Structure 1
Amino acid sequence: MVENPKSHLGFSSFLLFFFAIASLSLCKPALSVPERGPDPSPPTVYEILAQYGLPSGLLPDSVTGYTLSDDGRFVVELAKPCYVQFDYLVYYEKKITGELGYGYIKDLEGIQVQRFFFWLNVNEIKTDLPPSDSIYFQVGIINKKLRADQFKTVHSCRKGVSGSCQNSWKRFVEVWGFTDFVLC
Structure 2
Amino acid sequence: MAFQFKKPLPLFLFIFFLLHPFVSSERPISEPQAPATVYDLLPLYGFPKGIIPSSAKSYSLSSDGNFEIEFVDSSCYLMFKDQLVYYEKQARGKLEYGSVTGISGILTKKLFLWVPITGISSDDKTGMLEFHVGALSQKLPAKQFLRIQDCQKRRLGYGESQVVSNI
TM-score, normalization by structure 2: 0.70
Paired letter, 1:124: G
Q: CA deviation at 1:164?
A: 10
Higher Cα Rg, which structure: 1
Residue aligning to 1:141? 135
Alpha-carbon contact 1:53-1:131 (below 8 Å) kept? no
Alpha-carbon contact 1:98-1:105 (below 8 Å) kept? yes
Take 2:101 and 2:125, find their aligned partners in 1: how far apart are those partners?
18
Matched residues, percent identical? 38
Residue aligning to 1:13? none
Residue aligned with 1:112, SS: strand
Which has the bigger relative contact order, CA under 8 A and spacing at least 6? 2
Paired residues, what number?
125
Show structure 1 runs of 5+ residues with no match: 1-39, 166-184
Show structure 2 runs of 5+ residues with no match: 1-32, 160-167
Paired letter, 1:135: L
Q: 1:58 to 1:110 in 2, by over 3 A?
A: same
Alpha-carbon contact 2:77-2:156 (below 8 Å) kept? no
Q: Deviations over 1:90-111 (max 9, x none)?
A: 0000000000000111000000
TM-score, normalization by structure 1: 0.64
Q: CA deviation at 1:162?
A: 4.2
Q: Deviations over 1:14-66 (max 9, x none)?
A: xxxxxxxxxxxxxxxxxxxxxxxxxx884210110011111111100000101
Residue aligned with 1:54, SS: coil
Paired letter, 1:45: V
Take 1:46 and 1:99, find their aligned partners in 2: how far apart are those partners?
16
Take 1:164 and 1:108, find their aligned partners in 2: how far apart are those partners?
24
